[in-house]
Amino acid sequence: MKILITNDDGIYADGIYHLKKALDQIGEVLVVAPDVERSAVGHAITISDPLRVFEAERDGVFFGYAVNGTPADCVKLGIRCLAKWTPDIVVSGINLGANTATNIIYSGTVSAAAEAVIMGIPGLALSLTAFDVKEFDYTCRLAVDLVRKIEKNGLPEGTLLNVNVPPVPADQIRGIAITRQGKGRYEEFFDKRVDPTRRTYYWLAGKRMILDSDEDVDDVVIMRNKVSITPVRYDLTDMKMLDELKKWEIEQ
Chain mean pLDDT for the chain: 94
Structural domain includes residue 16: yes
What residues does 67 pair with on adjacent strands? 34, 53
Instruction: Check residue 205 and give its pLDDT.
Output: 83
How many CB atoms are closer than 10 A to CB 36? 12
Structural domain includes residue 198: no
- Give pLDDT < 70 ranges for the chain: none
Instruction: Check residue 7 and give its pLDDT.
Output: 98
Structural domain includes residue 188: no
Q: What's the total number of domains in the chain?
A: 1
Instruction: Check residue 188 and give its pLDDT.
Output: 85
Structural domain includes residue 150: yes
Structural domain includes residue 196: no
The structure's pTM equals 0.93
Instruction: Check residue 158 and give its pLDDT.
Output: 94
Residues of the domain holding 111: 2-181+214-246
Instruction: Check residue 77 and give its pLDDT.
Output: 98
Structural domain includes residue 141: yes
How many CB atoms are closer than 10 A to CB 226? 20
Each residue's pLDDT tens digit, 103-134: 999 999 999 999 999 999 999 999 999 888 77
CATH number at residue 101: 3.40.1210.10
Structural domain includes residue 206: no
Structural domain includes residue 29: yes
Is residue 160 within 8 Å of residue 122, measured between CB atoms?
Answer: yes
